[in-house]
């Protein structure tokens, strides 16, 4: 029974270690990706320094660096917490194995003492002849036969436990070393983060000396954001209204057909014409979701799109999110709202559809293109495109090229703006895209 309990305990320990190993691997992969993104941003920032001209691009890169650096520090914190748990579990395992080893040694010492006292043939015979009956004598004989085998097995089990204890102690030491390395890395990242924040303050100060240029850049950028948002909202509302019109037309057609068939049947049976049934709920009163999912094809596309949440491909093959979704405040204290994400990428990069759908808009916004694709009740919007390769009404497939990203001539930035809507409501694209 004790042996079975020990085996069960070891299986539980191995299962727990496996879960921790998977979590640790995920954290390490994410840290490697953050290091790669930070390295790319650092290269971009060095290029702006070489130009000897402070601009919004420097500020944008610094902001992205700070956000990624903070995420990396949080990632390290998670790794440290995970290692603390592993150290605690390993320490418990070492204590448990040490306790088992002590108990095994104690039991083994008792067996050795018993064997020593009964090592002569005379003592063994006396042990057998002292039985009350034949059945007890038989059991004592089997016991003597199995005792030697059991003693050997216990000795082997002690050796195995000692080896396992040694392995666990080594693992514990390695985990502690890994934690110390992580803490050093964390301290280094915090120092770098402080330097980046100081650089951010300096860049803001430099930009304030060129207040006119800065304000013009900000006005131009804000105006483009406003025009893009207006164009997206208008296109989505227009598509929803068109869907309502089609639904209403289909309802009217079905009602007329039902009335015609009822009248024809009444006439054939020489009965009075039936009273027209009460009209169904008009399309205008139906929800946006039901209108956009009015057909089986649209409903299936919506379900497929929803089923790929967290696994959609990125609209560019290689990129870094420099501005996330939601409300944010710029270093200058300006409060803004982002209904999507800005993705910095390489100059001339191809923009791709993230899912199957139909193009419902291709338009010009302040000299760059906007493409909107319908996926059932979901919409995806791709803006700041230099060129497009699709047209309104065209069917597109996942990862199909729809255009190329534009590069801002004044800042040298190459960024695509990407948004996802459920009906008229914007949602955070980051939780829909696959890990980069």
Q: Facing residues of 416 across strands?
A: 343
Q: Where is pLDDT greater, at 408 or 331?
A: 408
Is 70 buried (19+), middle (13-18) or exposed (0-12) by CB count in 10 A? middle
Taking only the tens place, the pLDDT of each residue in 378-407 is 999 999 999 999 999 999 999 999 999 998
**Lowest-confidence range among 46-55, 145-154, 173-182, 238-247?**
46-55
Rounded Cα distance, 112 and 299, in Å: 76
Residue 175 and residue 79 in contact, taking contact as beta carbons nearer than 8 Å:
no
Q: Which has the closest alpha carbon to 57: 430, 414, 426, 431?
A: 414
High-pLDDT (> 70) share of the chain, %: 60
High-pLDDT (> 90) share of the chain, %: 25
Average pLDDT of the chain?
75
The stretch 76-94 carries a mean pLDDT of 75
pLDDT number for residue 120: 47
Rounded Cα distance, 52 and 64, in Å: 20
Rounded Cα distance, 357 and 411, in Å: 34
The top-scoring range by mean pLDDT among 7-21, 35-49, 52-66, 162-176 is: 162-176
- Where, residue-wise, is CATH 2.70.70.10 in the chain? 308-431
Residue 406 and residue 368 in contact, taking contact as beta carbons nearer than 8 Å:
yes
- Helix, strand, coil % over all residues of the chain, rounded to 5: 65, 15, 20
Cα–Cα distance list, 76 to 26, 72, 191, 197 (Å): 12, 6, 14, 20
Residue 371 and residue 359 in contact, taking contact as beta carbons nearer than 8 Å:
yes
The top-scoring range by mean pLDDT among 161-170, 271-280, 312-321 is: 312-321
Q: Name the DSSP letter for residue 356.
A: S
Q: What is the largest CA-CA distance in the chain?
A: 119
Contacts of 45 (CB under 8 A, 6+ apart): 58, 61, 62, 65
Q: Where is pLDDT greater, at 84 or 272?
A: 84
pLDDT score of 210 more than 80 = no
pLDDT number for residue 121: 45
Write down how long the chain is: 436
**Lowest-confidence range among 20-34, 138-152, 325-339, 366-380?**
138-152
Tell me the three state secondary structure of residue 277: coil
Rounded Cα distance, 279 and 258, in Å: 12
Is 223 buried (19+), middle (13-18) or exposed (0-12) by CB count in 10 A? exposed
pLDDT score of 57 more than 80 = no
pLDDT score of 117 more than 60 = no
Rounded Cα distance, 33 and 39, in Å: 10
Residue 227 and residue 234 in contact, taking contact as beta carbons nearer than 8 Å:
no
Count of C-beta atoms within a 10 Å radius of residue 339: 21
Query: Rounded to the nearest 5°, which phi and psi values hold at 362?
Result: -135, 115
Domain 308-431, CATH among 3.40.50.970, 3.40.1350.10, 2.70.70.10, 2.40.30.110? 2.70.70.10
Contacts of 147 (CB under 8 A, 6+ apart): 111, 115
Q: Name the DSSP letter for residue 334.
A: -
Q: Which two tokens stand for residue 286?
A: 């139906």
The top-scoring range by mean pLDDT among 55-64, 119-128, 216-225, 314-323 is: 314-323
Triad 158, 162, 163: Cα angle to 5°: 120
The top-scoring range by mean pLDDT among 34-48, 135-149, 217-231, 299-313 is: 299-313
């Amino acid at each position: 029974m004790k042996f079975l309990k020990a085996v069960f305990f070891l299986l539980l320990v191995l299962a727990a270690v496996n879960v921790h190993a998977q979590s640790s691997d995920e954290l390490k992969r994410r840290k490697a990706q953050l290091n790669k993104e930070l390295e790319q941003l650092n290269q971009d920032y060095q290029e702006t320094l070489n130009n000897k001209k402070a601009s919004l691009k420097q500020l944008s890169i610094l902001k992205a660096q700070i956000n990624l650096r903070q995420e990396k520090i949080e990632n390290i914190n998670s790794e440290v917490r995970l290692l603390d748990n592993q150290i605690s579990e390993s320490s418990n395992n070492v204590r448990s194995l040490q306790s088992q080893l002590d108990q095994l040694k104690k039991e083994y010492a008792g067996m050795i003492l018993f064997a020593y006292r009964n090592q002569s043939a005379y003592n063994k015979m006396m042990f057998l002849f002292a039985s009350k009956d034949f059945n007890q004598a038989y059991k004592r004989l089997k016991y003597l036969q199995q005792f030697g085998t059991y003693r050997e097995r216990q000795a082997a089990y002690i050796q195995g436990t000692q080896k396992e204890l040694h392995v666990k102690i080594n693992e514990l030491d390695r985990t502690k070393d890994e934690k110390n390395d992580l803490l050093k890395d964390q301290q280094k990242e915090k120092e770098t983060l402080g330097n980046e924040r100081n650089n951010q303050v300096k860049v803001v100060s430099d930009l304030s000396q060129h207040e006119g240029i800065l304000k013009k850049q900000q006005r131009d950028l804000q105006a483009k954001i406003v025009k893009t948002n207006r164009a997206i909202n208008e296109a989505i509302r227009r598509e929803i209204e068109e869907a309502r019109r089609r639904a209403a037309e289909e309802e009217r057609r079905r009602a007329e057909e039902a009335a015609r068939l009822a009248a024809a049947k009444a006439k054939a049976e020489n009965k009075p014409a039936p009273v027209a049934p009460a009209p169904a709920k008009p399309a205008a009163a139906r929800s946006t979701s039901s209108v956009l999912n009015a057909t089986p094809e649209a409903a299936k596309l919506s379900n497929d799109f929803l089923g790929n949440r967290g696994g959609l491909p990125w609209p560019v093959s290689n990129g870094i999110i420099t501005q996330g979704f939601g409300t944010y405040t710029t270093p200058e204290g300006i409060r803004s709202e982002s209904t999507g994400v800005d993705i910095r990428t390489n100059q001339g990069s191809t923009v791709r559809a993230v899912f199957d759908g139909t193009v419902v808009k291709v338009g010009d916004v302040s000299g760059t293109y906007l493409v909107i694709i319908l996926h059932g009740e979901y919409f995806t919007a791709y803006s700041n495109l230099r060129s497009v390769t699709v047209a309104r009404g065209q069917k597109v497939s996942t990862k199909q090229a729809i255009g190329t990203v534009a590069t801002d001539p004044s800042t040298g930035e190459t960024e695509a703006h990407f948004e996802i809507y459920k009906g008229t409501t914007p949602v955070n694209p980051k939780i829909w895209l696959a890990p980069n």
